[in-house]
Structure 1
Amino acid sequence: MTARYDTIGINYAELRKPDPRIASLVDAALGIARSVINVGAGTGSYEPAGRHVTAVEPSLEMIRKRPAGAAPAVQAEAGALPFADKAFDAAMAILTIHHWPDKQAGLAELRRVTRGPIVLLTFDPAHRPWLTDYLPELAALDEAQMPAMADYARWLGPVEVRRVPVPHDCSDGFLYAYWRRPGAYLDPRIRSGSSSFWMIEGAEAGLSRLGRDLESGAWDRRYADLAALDTYDAGYRLVVAPGID
């Protein structure tokens, strides 16, 4: 089995360290669940302590990068989970659904194997963080690969959608995490931690313009209001589907 992150997960464990403030939101949404399946688990970010976690990850390379003591991992796809019906108290999937070949089938599988809540950290493709002013290719990619917020209710039934504020010093280097650290986007190593930068073409012009605006002070003037913010609504959302009877 091959997977995208066999190639692009080079610096993932180093650059994608879970942020404790976001982790607390995920953990709270899991409620009292004792057994949790984590689908698209990667290197284990946001897997809660004190629960029995089973990780599912299609990329063998990412499984190999899981630290010692991490939850056991099964190499499998979201759309074909090798578990019995209602095997888990809860399910979680963190910034992964946009990589699933069949998103509806994957969520149906999560619902099949989970008797309690399903917790998804995802992104609202209707949102436009400031970085898309420089790289409209990112907005186009978000629209192409991210489910619309309305899709989750169609596929899972009633859901609650919660905003996930991104701290200015977020330790998890996902795409829009550096909203108050714009110079980070000029670093190829930082960009390598986000799958989106592996998937778009023609980013050089936008990044060059960002570099010029940072040097001239134009970025600071245009986005002066961000300097006073400790958190930013970058479009990340926690989608929570309740348990089933």
Structure 2
Amino acid sequence: MTARYDEIGVGYALGRRTDPRWLEPVVSALGAAASVLDVGSGTGSYEPPARDVVAVEPSAEMIRQRSPEAAPVVRAVAEALPFASGTFDAALAVLTVHHWPDWRAGLTELRRVASRQVVLAYDTALHNDFWFVREYVPEVAALEDSRPSAPEIADFLGASSVRPLPVPWDFTDGVFPAYWRRPEAYLDPAVRRSCSALAQTAPEAVSRGIDRLRADLESGRWQREHAELLELPEWDAGFRLIVA
């Protein structure tokens, strides 16, 4: 079994750390579910505490980085979950649906194994409006346009609720737009490796963008043109918590 994150997930656990400001709404969205299947769980960042959790993850590299205290994990893909129908109270999928080769088949599987689905996804149009994409690495937009967007996912699931999850300025989970107010972080190769959008974009395009960003930070141009961001405690990058 091959998995994309066997290549781009090295060191993932260091850059992608659980932020309680997202964990709380994710856990709340699970409602009274006692048994939870965490699909595409990665290193287990948002596995809910005090629940009976089973994780599904296709990448051996990601499984290797899981904590010994993390939930038991099965190596499988979302499109073919190795569980009987109705096995779980809820199925959870956090920032993973955009990686699934057949996202509709994966979501259908979530509905098959659990009566409640909780999906954290993002609006690709808002991601593409991120200053880093617009001004420095516009090539990322083509990748995002090929991915399922939160409104599509919510519509497919027949969502009962869709909640925006803003990104705090000091967010500890290094998702792609996490450093919207800390642009110097993108100069760090380790930060970029933890962002799949950058890890999957042509290296020469990313290098060109980083060179421009470095120059704009040194000249003060970035700070002048984005002064309004420096006053914001949080920013809506398009992340949506979908419940169905």
Do they fold alike, i.e. is TM over 0.5? yes
- CA-CA distance at 1:28 after TM superposition: 0.9
CA contact under 8 A between 1:129 and 1:235: conserved in structure 2?
no
Unmatched runs of 5 consecutive residues or more in structure 2: none
Shift of 1:172: 0.5
**Is the 2:154–2:162 contact (alpha carbons within 8 Å) kept by the matching residues of 1?**
no
| Structure 1 partner of 2:38 | 38
Q: What residue identity is the alignment partner of 2:212?
A: R
What does residue 125 of structure 1 align with? 124
| Root-mean-square deviation over aligned CA pairs | 1.1
Equivalence map 1:1-245=2 (5 Å)? 1-115=1-115, 117-127=116-126, 128-133=129-134, 134-145=136-147, 147-201=148-202, 202-241=205-244
CA distance in 1, matches of 2:43, 2:153: 25
SS at 1:43's partner residue? Answer: coil
CA contact (8 A) 2:3 2:58 kept: yes
1:154 to partner: Cα distance: 4.0
Question: What do residues 64-115 of structure 1 show as CA deviations (whole Å, max 9, x unaligned)?
Answer: 2110111000000000001111111111111111110100000000000002
Q: Is the 8 A contact 1:168 1:231 kept in 2?
A: yes
* Partner Cα distance (1:218, 1:129) in 2: 17
Per the TM alignment, residue 158 of structure 1 is displaced from its structure 2 partner at its CA by 3.4
Does structure 1 conserve the Cα–Cα contact (< 8 Å) formed by 2:154 and 2:242? no
Give a deviation string over 1:2-22, Cα, whole Å, max 9, x none.
111111111101110011101
Matched residue SS, 1:214: helix
Q: More deviation in 35-44 or 131-140? A: 131-140
Structure 1 residues 172, 153: CA separation in 2 closer, same or farther (over 3 Å shift)? Answer: closer
TM-score, length-normalised on structure 2?
A: 0.95
CA distance in 1 between counterparts of 2:38 and 2:159 reads 21
Structure 1 residue runs of 5 or longer lacking an equivalent are none
- Asked whether the 8 Å contact 1:111–1:118 carries over to 2, the reply is yes
User: Post-superposition shift, 1:153?
Assistant: 4.0
Q: Aligned residue pairs: how many? A: 239
Cα separation, 2, equivalents of 1:40 and 1:149: 17
Alpha-carbon separation, structure 2, partners of 1:150 and 1:67: 33
Q: How far is 1:148 from its partner?
A: 2.8
Partner SS for 1:79: helix
- Given the two structures, how large is their TM-score scaled by the length of structure 1? 0.94
Indicate how the Cα distance of structure 1 residues 88 and 11 shifts in structure 2: closer, same or farther if over 3 A, else same.
same
Secondary structure of 1:107 counterpart: helix
How many angstroms apart in 1 are the aligned matches of 2:164 and 2:178? 14
Distance 2:154 2:20 in 1: 28
Q: Which runs of 4+ in 1 moved over 3 A?
A: none
- In 1, distance between residues paired with 2:137 and 2:237? 15
Q: Distance in 1 between matches of 2:2 and 2:131?
A: 34
